[in-house]
Structure 1
Amino acid sequence: MRFSQLASAFVVGGAVALNAVACAPHVQGNVMHDQEHETGAAARSTLPPELSADEAARLQRGETIIREQTWSRGDRRYVGGLTYTVVDVGASELSAVLEDVDAYRRVLPKTKQARLVGMSGNDRLVEVVQGNALVQATYTMRVRSEPVAPSGQREVRFWLEPTLPHEIDDAWGFFRVEPFIGENGNPRVLLTYGVLVDVGAGIVRDLFEERVRSALLSVPQLVRRYVAEVRRSY
């Protein structure tokens, strides 16, 4: 499976929301996530053009816009989606949260443990334990912070590290931080978050797939709540 095929599965209102270049696949059929094209300008006061007027108004009111996505190919089945959220914070402050492994227990749902287990070049290898009393999964994500664009846009990408033990089949996602100035003159951020996960065939997929999707797409709200709590503690 090629990364471009997976990325093109993010469809918003009939238009492709993510575009990617073709890359070589992982060994053992896992997805190779190597490069993704940016969509839109990084520093802007306008909202994503693919949103409807109603969605744009909801976004301005502080709601998160969610576009669910399911993508299948052969025995692979990915669930997740694409979200947009406006956060009342500067881009560097929000990026610091997304790069802080200690914060992952607060911003990733059902996370019992998140710890840095190594480095591969500039990529962080983060072991994550997630679940509840009924089901639990441990896996390691490769997390990559892209260089800051001249416009101020920042991006953090993550994907399953297939060479380390993992109890889910595959996962991939990104956070895109796009700064702009709000009407009151304060810095704000448009946080775009995309994620696709294949939990694997079997009872977990049959019974818990939609719960997994709901949890995955709650991340922007958890990020916004965590940022607000951190700011109140200053």
Structure 2
Amino acid sequence: MLNVLIAGASRGIGLGLVRAYLGRGDRVFALARDPAASAGLAEILGRYGRRLQLIACDLNAAAAPEQVVATVGDCHLDRVLLNAGIPGPHKQDVASVSDADVAQLFLTNAVAPLRLARALRPLVRSGGVLTFTSSVMGSLQLSVGASMPLYSASKAALNSLLLHWAAELGSSRDFSLLALHPGWVRTDMGGDQAPLSVEQSVAGLVDVIEAAAGLDQCRFVDYEGNALPW
């Protein structure tokens, strides 16, 4: 049985990952700003009980890493899946976007996930996997995010921070680091026209995550395991 921590667990891909890992027989710590407001988490809690621990936490709060580490306690983690993110302002125009919107976007999508990951690093088992939900839009080489430039920039920032952290860890890192593109998925963010269901994306993500266990990789890949250029 693996110990799995999943952030952004109240809906969409995060909730799908909670379902998938509990379905495999694993133990899950599910982080959400307000778990009690998630009907999906309530249903899962009723089914799996003690193998699911809900953690109410605003990951953007400065004290969030300390709170999560204290809640997890001395439990060592096999998988850490940091999935929380926001699309940013509807009008993604750098000339008119407010400072507050930019700060919120980059804090949520790039800074807060790395801050939590660094705090959890001592709890990650050797051979484990720590992942961040990124996006193909974050690839500077592919440059496919023209319709959402600020969102794309926030994911590029996430990828950059991940690479810098991997370099900082160097040979001391004994777990895999993955930036994951989940595909275009039918969620609140992806919309109804997206070609992938949550279940399809999550099934692929779990396969990719589990394939990285024990390999100490640092990669940017999609839900089918295809490498993406940074």
TM-score (structure 1 length as normaliser): 0.30
More strand by share: 1
